[in-house]
């Protein structure tokens, strides 16, 4: 089995069509992208015991008792911890195993990711069946989270090597899949839960089991579709530009050296700030449009959100979900659009657009809200979401330009810790500012204004971080003929070096 998965076994034969690699990458990214769609399980899981209604746990039951209780239902807020686990383990496993991926090759990494992500679903199915939330957290959150990280970075360097002429487009295609995974997974889960539901069962554990198997097969197919180009391979008819752009290197920086450079940390900040702003918007999209426009959304202009009746609020909730769905389409469209455009525009200029245009749009959003222009408000956030997705999809090519292609998968893995950090900063910032505003009597329709200006401020900082990015200093590059450094120094060797 190890032989089949080895790096040496996947060197492509002459005549191999490089356009077979993006579908393999998409098979993996579309599967792991379901992480974004897990909220589809929360409502049925919050009624797993009571079936038709949620059975609350007795007052005074401790946290540990709730973790193993089988007679009362889980709260949605407890289930929501899954998202935190996803992003923490995605970032940390990508950072930890990126170097291993470069050494062992993408097929082995993809296969391990399939086992972790698919296997995580199976453990979660057991957790739901036994009604043990800690099993779900370990299954999908921890084991699945490791699968997320490995699966996410597995195709990056392979695609960049296959598409040296269109690095942005190639990685954009794969990362678009991560954005699109929930679009397939959420409705599929909904269909499966309805199919498996009975008067005594909400049908979730069976859905987990089915989806785990589907994802395992899809991801294994993707992993076995990976091929690496032979050393020195170039697309037919393509020659590297003679006049090489200053911001694109043809040499390589080792992963252990890359994070000692200011460029790594500037790009870390660039990703962190861009994602923090976008994640904040994604998290609050639905309540935001409802509270900002209130009755105007259902042809009752002038009626604030709080003055609406319950049925009217239900109507608004449906429209809020529609707004969130629309944003997710623009999120994935932006991944392929901006990453492809960056091949022509240059990576740094593309990020200047993200930060410049993004600042302008965030600052304009409160004005659109005050003017009561739903169309303008929706359009602003659709464009913002394209740039959120574009930021994710363009960063691998930016890294390859700065640090070379040899270790870009591992370097990208380490950079993804910025995503984990953004997963904490963005929602916390948005939620706390909103609460603070509401506590001080600011009307709900205006509670997001300060938030928008703060997010615009984050993008201004990101603009200057991007502006500070310069070509990597000569001393960081591997020299021609220099033996490849060890991935991680052995403890004794490291101790000797320190001494």
Partner 1 sequence: MSDSSDPRDGRPSPRWLTAVAWLLVGAPLAWGVYTTLAKAALLFK
Q: Which residues bind partner 1 (CB under 8 A)?
A: 4, 9-17, 19-20, 23-24, 26-27, 30, 177, 180, 183-184, 187, 221, 224-225, 318-319, 321-323, 325-326, 328-329, 332, 378
Instruction: Give the 3-state secondary structure of residue 16.
Output: coil
Cα-based distances in Å from 266 to 106, 130, 269, 385, 466: 27, 46, 5, 22, 7
Residue 228 burial (CB < 10 Å; 0-12/13-18/19+)? buried
At its nearest, how many Å lie between partner 1 and the CB of residue 303? 19
For partner 1, give the closer residue by CB, 30 or 452.
Answer: 30
At its nearest, how many Å lie between partner 1 and the CB of residue 338? 18
At its nearest, how many Å lie between partner 1 and the CB of residue 319? 6
Instruction: Give the 3-state secondary structure of residue 31.
Output: helix
Q: 397 near 171, Cβ under 8 Å?
A: yes
For partner 1, give the closer residue by CB, 19 or 63.
Answer: 19
For partner 1, give the closer residue by CB, 221 or 461.
Answer: 221
**What is the rounded CA–CA span in Å between residue 391 and residue 418?**
12
For partner 1, give the closer residue by CB, 184 or 353.
Answer: 184
Q: 277 near 459, Cβ under 8 Å?
A: yes
At its nearest, how many Å lie between partner 1 and the CB of residue 109? 17
At its nearest, how many Å lie between partner 1 and the CB of residue 329? 6
**What is the rounded CA–CA span in Å between residue 475 and residue 451?**
42
∠ CA(59), CA(60), CA(64), 5° rounding?
Answer: 115
Q: 411 near 98, Cβ under 8 Å?
A: yes
Instruction: Give the 3-state secondary structure of residue 477.
Output: strand
Cα-based distances in Å from 368 to 142, 308, 374, 380, 381: 41, 22, 7, 9, 11
Q: What is the residue-wise DSSP string for 118-174?
A: HHHHHHHHHHHHHT-HHHHIIIIIIIHHHHHHHHHHTTHHHHHHH-TT-HHHHHHHH
At its nearest, how many Å lie between partner 1 and the CB of residue 472? 35
For partner 1, give the closer residue by CB, 180 or 390.
Answer: 180
For partner 1, give the closer residue by CB, 27 or 267.
Answer: 27
**What is the rounded CA–CA span in Å between residue 371 and residue 114?**
49
**What is the rounded CA–CA span in Å between residue 415 and residue 409?**
10
At its nearest, how many Å lie between partner 1 and the CB of residue 269? 32
For partner 1, give the closer residue by CB, 23 or 346.
Answer: 23
At its nearest, how many Å lie between partner 1 and the CB of residue 143? 24
For partner 1, give the closer residue by CB, 54 or 315.
Answer: 315
For the chain, what's the residue count?
A: 499
For partner 1, give the closer residue by CB, 10 or 281.
Answer: 10
For partner 1, give the closer residue by CB, 141 or 180.
Answer: 180
**What is the rounded CA–CA span in Å between residue 6 and residue 183?**
33
Rg of the Cα trace of the chain? 24
At its nearest, how many Å lie between partner 1 and the CB of residue 326? 4
Q: 175 near 117, Cβ under 8 Å?
A: no
At its nearest, how many Å lie between partner 1 and the CB of residue 120? 20
């Amino acid at each position: 089995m190890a032989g089949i998965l080895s790096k040496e076994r996947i060197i492509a034969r002459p005549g191999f069509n490089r356009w077979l690699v993006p579908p393999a990458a998409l098979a993996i990214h579309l599967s792991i992208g379901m992480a974004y769609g897990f909220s589809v399980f929360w409502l049925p899981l919050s009624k797993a015991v009571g079936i038709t209604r949620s059975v609350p746990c007795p007052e005074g039951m401790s946290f540990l008792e709730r973790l193993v209780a089988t007679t009362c239902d889980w709260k949605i807020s407890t289930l929501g911890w899954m998202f935190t686990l996803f992003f923490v383990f995605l970032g940390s496993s990508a950072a930890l195993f990126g170097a291993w991926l470069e050494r062992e090759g993408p097929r082995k990494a993809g296969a391990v990711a399939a086992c972790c992500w698919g296997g995580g679903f199976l453990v979660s199915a057991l957790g739901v069946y036994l009604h043990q939330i800690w099993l779900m957290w370990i299954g999908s959150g921890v084991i699945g989270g490791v699968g997320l990280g490995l699966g996410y970075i597995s195709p990056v360097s392979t695609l960049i090597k296959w598409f040296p002429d269109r690095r942005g487009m190639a990685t954009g295609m794969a990362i678009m899949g991560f954005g699109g995974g929930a679009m397939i997974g959420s409705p599929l889960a909904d269909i499966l839960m309805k199919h498996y539901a009975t008067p005594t069962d909400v049908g979730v554990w069976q859905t987990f089991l089915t989806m785990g198997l589907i994802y395992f097969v899809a991801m294994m197919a993707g992993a076995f579709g990976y091929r690496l180009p032979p050393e020195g391979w170039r697309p037919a008819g393509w020659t590297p530009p003679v006049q090489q752009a200053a911001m694109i290197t043809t040499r390589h920086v080792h992963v252990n050296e890359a994070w000692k450079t200011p460029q790594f940390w500037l790009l870390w900040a660039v990703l962190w700030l861009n994602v923090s702003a976008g994640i904040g918007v994604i998290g609050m999209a639905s309540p935001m449009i409802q509270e900002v426009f209130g009755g105007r959304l259902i042809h009752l202009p002038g009626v604030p959100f709080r003055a609406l009746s319950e049925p009217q609020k239900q109507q608004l909730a449906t429209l809020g979900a529609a707004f969130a769905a629309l944003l997710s389409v623009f999120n994935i469209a932006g991944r392929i659009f901006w990453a492809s455009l960056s091949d022509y525009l240059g990576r740094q200029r593309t990020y200047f657009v993200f930060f410049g245009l993004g600042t302008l749009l965030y600052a304009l959003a409160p004005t659109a809200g005050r003017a009561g222009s739903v169309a303008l408000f929706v359009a602003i956030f659709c464009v913002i979401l394209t740039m959120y997705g574009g930021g994710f999809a363009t960063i691998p090519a930016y890294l390859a330009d700065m640090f070379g292609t040899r270790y870009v998968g591992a370097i990208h893995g380490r950079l993804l810790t910025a995503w984990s950090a953004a997963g904490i900063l963005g929602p916390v910032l948005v939620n706390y500012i909103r609460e603070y505003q509401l506590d001080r009597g600011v009307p709900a329709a205006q509670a997001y204004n300060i938030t928008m200006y703060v997010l615009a401020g984050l993008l201004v900082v990101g603009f200057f971080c991007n502006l500070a990015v310069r070509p990597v200093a000569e001393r960081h590059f591997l020299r021609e003929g220099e033996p490849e450094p060890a991935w991680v120094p052995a403890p004794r060797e490291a101790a000797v070096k320190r001494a």
